[in-house]
Amino acid sequence: MNVVPERYHGVWARTLLETPEGRDTTTWVRWLQTGLWHGDLRVPADAARNTPESRAQVQGFAGTTAITRPDPDRPEVCTWLRSVDMQPPRSTPDAGHMVFETPSRVIETGIHGTYLEVWERLPESTARRIALARLGAGGEPTAERLLVAGVFLMHHRPRLAPWPTDLRPDETLASVLQRHPTQTEALLDVDIAFGRFEHGVWSVERAAAPAAEGHELPCALHRLDAVRARVERGPLAGDWQVLEWHDEERPSFG
């Protein structure tokens, strides 16, 4: 059963952010939403990402999504529950009121902050929905995620290093690196990437690490049974647990 209504499914591009500090129409943002799972990547347009400080400006996260309507007189609430996050933990939930102006345009306004975001759904992003968790050496699911919506694929591999024990409320990754420069490499070791996935090729458009962008990577995705899938070829190769798979007519891609 899908927890998230179908109107949310697909890949959404943010076209506008308004906050008390100003407007942003240039940051590259993609939100991929399946029937339960989400992935998100945000790359500032002016981030050269050739230094640790600039790479730390990138935001990306993944987890499950909940849609509720606690107040019948207010718009429904979308809450993104993060299990993978490039930035340090937040002190408030990531949640917003959602109003659909059209089936492919939704306005989000903040609940725990003052902001407005405009999201536009990308064409070709609703034909199929897949969410996978990589299996570890012992066969147990890990926090690594592979998400597919239509012809798009997003991958999230969290850092292995734990956060420092002296995290401050709502600080950024950049500020953590300033205080812990010897841990820079470990704290930046997060793999988040997004791109088109067609004909056995994953074309990476944007990634947390700029060196990963622009590559066309082989990728063949096969469902083995109700709970297992396998990726053959390329950096995502291996065995995965099926969290969600909506495309029974096509158990294999690539």
The domain limits of the chain are 6-121, 129-253
Separation of alpha carbons 186 and 58, rounded Å: 16
Give the residue with greater pLDDT, 95 vs 252: 95
Average pLDDT, stretch 166-192? Answer: 96
The answer on pLDDT for 81 being more than 90 is: yes
pLDDT at residue 1 greater than cutoff 60: no
Listed residue (85, 83, 111, 106) closest to 13, CA to CA: 106
Average pLDDT for 55-68: 96
Among 230, 47, 220, smallest CA distance to 132 is for 230
pLDDT tens column, 215-235: 999 999 999 999 999 999 999
pLDDT tens for each residue of 112-152 = 999 999 999 999 999 899 999 999 999 999 999 999 999 99
Could you name the CATH architecture of 6-121?
A: Beta Barrel (2.40)
**pLDDT of amino acid 228:** 97
Among residues 146, 158, 105, which one has the least CA distance to residue 229?
A: 146
pLDDT number for residue 49: 78
Local confidence band at 46 (pLDDT 50, 70, 90 cut-offs): confident
**Both tokens assigned to 226:** 């109700």
Alpha helices in 115-164 (DSSP H): none
